[in-house]
Structures are given as C-alpha cells and as structure tokens.
C-alpha cells in the first residue's frame, strides 16, 4: 500500500473533473447571458418567433409613409377575416446589380404571386398588409452601412436615409412595381430583427420585447425577406408563415408557390 505522502494530491478525482466541467458550462452560460443583457437582448428574445395560436404583441408597430407610428392591429381594417402580413425588401439607393429598384431580389420575384393572391381574395375579407424594410446590414445598395441601426432617431444621417428609402419605395409603389395600395415601413428592422447580426447599440434606441418575433425560427436567412404571416383581426397567428424562397440560389430554393399561398388563404377562410 502506498504511503500517504506518495499520493499525488494534485491529481483530480473523477468527481473533481465533473465539478470542473459543470463550473465551466455554468460560467459560459452566465457569460452569454451577460453579453446579451449588456447588448439589450433578453433571453426570451434570442431565437424566438411567434407560433400558431399565439397573439402578437399589441404594441407592435411600424411607420406609415409620413413616418408616423402605426400599430399593427390598428392597420387591420374593420371586417377583415384574415390579415396577411407581408414583410419584404424595399427600394435600394444605388447598386451595380439590377433588381427593378428593389434591393431584395426575392421580394421582387415574389410580387407577382402576392399580387395574384391579393386580387383573388380581397373581396373575401382578406387584407394584405405590406411592410418594406431597408437593407440594414449592408452598404451594397447605396445606403451607409448600419445607418439604419447605429444612428439615433435625431441623427441627420439616419433621417435622410429613412426619408430617401421611403421616397424611393413609394415611387415603386406608385408605378406599380410594388403591388400594394399602401406600404408601411420598418426602418429599424424591428419585425425581423436578428440579434445575431446586430445587438442593438446605444444609437439604435429601445429594443422592444416583440422585436424579431416575426423572424420564423426555422428561417436561417440573414434578413428573412420576403415572408407572409397570417393573422386574425385580433392578432392571433393562424398558421406557420410562408418564408424562405430564394430564387437566385443555385438551384433555386422554393419552399412555397402561388398555390400554397392561395390554398393557405382558402383554408383559413374555410375555418371562419
């Protein structure tokens, strides 16, 4: 039998290794929560999206063309049976690529389907609510990088960028490139907010609890435009959204077509 002084007291026993591993995991989790807390991101906001049966936060808002706040539920017209919330990429400032004025090529490609579905269902109590988003993460389309995210509301650079984005998008609406009579705006990218891309710095302003809840949890795209959510007049989510079409991928990734859009609306109306 070895003497007591022959035993290596620095050697960890199996339980010591377990305790050490647990401490490392706990410290790592705590660090992650602290980083997100400092950035203004609550745990519930990370990777969360609305699910069918849930109700959207009644404080959810976007802007009209005059930059006035409009709550989502207030945008739903009386008598509406199904509200189809369409979130898409709006106008670019300038680009070397040609996308018909729209920075999100997939949004442009989706307009024909959205127009056909809207026209065929507008007399049936279906309202399409269109919200345009700028290219907040990139300067590829002429806007200063992060000008929509890092500049405060009273910044001349931010105000000019928002004004220009709305003016150019409204021009595309008026010439019917964008097939909606009314377009709302989300210059801070709150609806599809992706904390993995931007943590919400001081200049960004308030990060609301509902931000990012329209970014479907299965959508691995950076922006997530375009997507279509289906709500009842009180803001209840009626089904999973339509999302993820990427027409420019090789090969194209098409997760839904006009027929899925139209049949989905017909199914929701049949439940009324």
Superfamily of domain 45-270: Glutaredoxin (3.40.30.10)
Question: What rounded mean pLDDT belongs to the chain?
Answer: 86
pLDDT of res. 133? 98
Measured CA distances, 101 to 129, 189, 207, 223, 258 (Å): 20, 19, 30, 18, 23
Please state the rounded mean pLDDT for residues 10-18.
Answer: 44
Torsion of CA 162, 163, 166, 171, to 10 degrees: -150
Confidence of residue 196 (pLDDT cuts 50, 70, 90): confident
How far is residue 125's CA from residue 82's CA, in Å, rounded to a whole number? 7
Q: What is the residue whose two structure tokens read 């907040």?
A: 136
Q: Which residues, listed in sequence order, are joined to residue 88 by a DSSP beta bridge?
A: 132
- Summarize the confidence of residues 45-54 as an average pLDDT: 80
Angle at 88 between CA 55 and CA 92, to 5 degrees: 145
The model's pLDDT over 214-253, given as tens digits with 9 standing for 90+, comes to: 999 999 999 999 999 999 999 999 999 999 999 989 999 9
Count of positions (residues) in the chain: 272
pTM score, whole prediction: 0.83
Q: Where are the domains of the chain?
A: 45-270
Give the tens place of pLDDT for each residue, 250-270: 999 999 999 999 999 999 999
What does the alpha-carbon distance between residue 200 and residue 208 come to, in Å, rounded to a whole number?
A: 10
For residue 27 the two structure tokens come to: 């410290």
Percent of the chain with pLDDT over 70: 82
Q: Looking at residue 98, what is its pLDDT?
A: 64
Alpha helices in 153-257 (DSSP H): 156-174
């Amino acid at each position: 039998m070895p003497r007591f002084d022959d035993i290596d007291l620095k050697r960890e026993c199996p339980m010591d290794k377990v305790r050490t591993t647990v401490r490392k995991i706990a410290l790592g989790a705590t660090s992650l929560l602290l980083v997100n807390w400092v950035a203004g991101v609550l745990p519930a906001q990370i990777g969360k999206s609305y699910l069918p049966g849930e109700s959207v936060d009644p404080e959810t808002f976007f802007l009209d063309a005059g930059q006035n706040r409009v709550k989502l539920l207030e945008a739903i017209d009386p008598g509406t049976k199904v509200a189809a919330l369409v979130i898409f990429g709006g106008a670019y400032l300038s680009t070397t690529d040609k996308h018909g004025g729209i920075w999100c090529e997939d949004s442009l490609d989706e307009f024909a389907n959205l127009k056909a579905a809207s026209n065929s269902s507008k007399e049936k109590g279906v309202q399409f609510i269109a919200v345009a988003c700028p290219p907040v993460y990139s300067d590829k389309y002429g806007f200063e990088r992060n000008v929509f995210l890092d500049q405060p509301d009273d910044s001349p650079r931010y105000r000019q960028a928002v004004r220009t984005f709305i003016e150019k998008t409204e021009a595309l609406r008026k010439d019917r490139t964008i097939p909606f009579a009314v377009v709302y705006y989300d210059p801070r990218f709150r609806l599809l907010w992706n904390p993995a891309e931007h943590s919400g710095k001081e200049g960004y302003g308030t990060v609301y609890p509902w931000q990012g809840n329209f970014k479907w949890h299965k959508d691995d795209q950076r922006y997530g435009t375009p997507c279509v959510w289906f709500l009842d007049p009180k803001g209840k989510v009626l089904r999973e959204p339509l999302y993820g079409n990427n027409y420019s991928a090789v090969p194209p990734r098409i997760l839904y077509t006009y027929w899925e859009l139209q049949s989905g609306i017909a199914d929701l109306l049949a439940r009324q």
